[in-house]
Amino acid sequence: MHINISKSESGNNRGSSGQLVAYLEKENRLLQEQSPKLEPEYWFNQQRQNVQPYEVRYDIDHNTDRLSKDEAKFFLLNISPSEHELKFLKEEFGEEGAKQQLKQYANQLMDEYAKNFKKGNVKGKEDLLYFGKVENHRYYTHKDEEVKQGLAKRGEQKPGEHIHVQIIVSRKDITDSIRLSPLNNSRGKNIAHSLKVGQFDRVVFKQKAEKKFDQSFDYDRELWETFKYANTLKHGTPVQKLEMREAEQQEQELRKQQELEYRQELKLQQERAQSQKQSRGQSIGGW
């Protein structure tokens, strides 16, 4: 599970959200060009699943009381399950069911987002102003190596499973009175700043997002899939990286042993069942 928090796709979140909303409507525009009668992918939040783009722009842009022109007005959360996680969801719930489950998960995640600020008046997703949008694909940009090497064109769909959720969340709470910044790095060290915009520990938030996914879907996450594993290999000391790789190897060996034992037990059960079947057949023949 990859969670990223940024200013916006264009890097500008100090003005209207209109540019970002329009950008996130790109798949709907392509869909309408191909099949005008098909249902578009609507925006959603904790209350509705049929929010229109103009509603998103209006509500976000009008929730900016006392914010100066140089202050952030909104933030973008990118919730991207791995291909392994998406495959699991599709096997469990089907294509459309997986999307609905991701929407529910995104709403649950916004609860954790709100609580992570540690502000008394912001207790859950009901205290936030946000809108989510499911996207089915990812597209090549000028930054991708495939584009630079001429192997793909900018704007083309990337291969593989890429269903993800984009969430625009207002800088202000639902009452338009409390400022909240998930890009605050003080984590409570700067008391005055934390009182103003809240304490937001992005590491803790990503760990809780991972835990919420596993609990919600009974997902058996392997060590190499964890945020802790990726974070250690990226930011850990040489000793920590070595310990993590050794732990991964031990886990893989344990899983292989468990799988072997499971297959052996399954084979024994099949042999017992076959033996009992033959015994019943002989008993009947004896009569």
pLDDT at site 192: 64
pLDDT along the chain (287 residues), means of 10: 84 90 93 86 96 98 94 95 95 95 97 92 96 93 90 89 95 95 71 65 94 95 92 92 90 84 84 79 61
What does the alpha-carbon distance between residue 112 and residue 209 come to, in Å, rounded to a whole number? 8
Token digits for 164? 């993800």
**Domains of the chain, residue spans:** 2-220, 222-287
The Cα–Cα gap between 234 and 228 comes to 10
Under a CB-based contact definition with an 8 Å cutoff, are residues 198 and 181 in contact?
yes
- The closest alpha carbon to 13, from 192, 154, 170, belongs to 170
What pLDDT is recorded for position 252? 84
Instruction: HSE, CB side, 13 Å, CA atoms: give it for residue 172.
Output: 18
What local confidence, expressed as pLDDT, does residue 270 receive? 84
Distance between CA atoms of 167 and 76, rounded to whole angstroms? 6
**Whether the model pTM is above 0.75:** yes
pLDDT of 188: 55
Q: Write down the pLDDT at residue 100.
A: 96
Please list the residues that pair with 168 across neighbouring strands.
76, 131
Pull the structure tokens for residue 147. 């584009």
pLDDT at 220 (0 to 100): 93
Q: Which fold has domain 2-220?
A: BirA Bifunctional Protein; domain 2 (3.30.930)
pLDDT value of residue 5:
93
Question: What is residue 35's predicted lDDT score, i.e. its pLDDT?
Answer: 84
